[in-house]
Amino acid sequence: MSEELKLCESDYRLACIIWENEPLGSGDLVKLCQKNLGWKKSTTYTVLKKLCDRGFFKNEDALVTSLIEKEQVQKYESEQFIDRTFGGSLPGFIAAFMNDKTISKQEAEELKKLIDSYREV
């Protein structure tokens, strides 16, 4: 995965608004950013332009749509976090995450099925 998918917090917050509401008019995006983030119109357009220049979104005829899916960014961020914090160890991450938690029998079965679906043959 490349650094191209890395987003700072403010960029990610704007991106989430777009992903949740696309396709969306740029004027509507300004209103949503003002309501949800407290941003001014100029801030919204500045961040949007930066993300369009980086290839995350396009703003064509005042209609904003995504070019990169939210799941791609989440995958990149998750991998970076596990690499940085747990030396790339998924079991290490899960052990730390589950430290004092319990899960239901159904959740355990769902996780087992998920793991089995990714197991090497």
Task: Give per-residue pLDDT as tens, 27-52.
Answer: 999 999 999 999 999 999 999 999 99
Residue 98 resides in a domain = no
pLDDT digits (tens, 9 = 90+) for 41-100: 999 999 999 999 999 999 999 999 999 999 999 999 999 999 999 999 988 998 898 888
Q: Are 70 and 16 in contact (CB under 8 A)?
A: yes
**Alpha-carbon distance values, 119 to 70, 88, 116 (Å):** 25, 17, 5
pLDDT reading at 1 higher than 70: no
**Alpha-carbon distance values, 67 to 74, 97, 119 (Å):** 15, 32, 30
Range of the domain at 48: 3-70
- For residues 21 and 2, which has the higher predicted lDDT (pLDDT)? 21
* CATH code of the domain containing 53: 1.10.10.10
Number of domains in the chain: 1
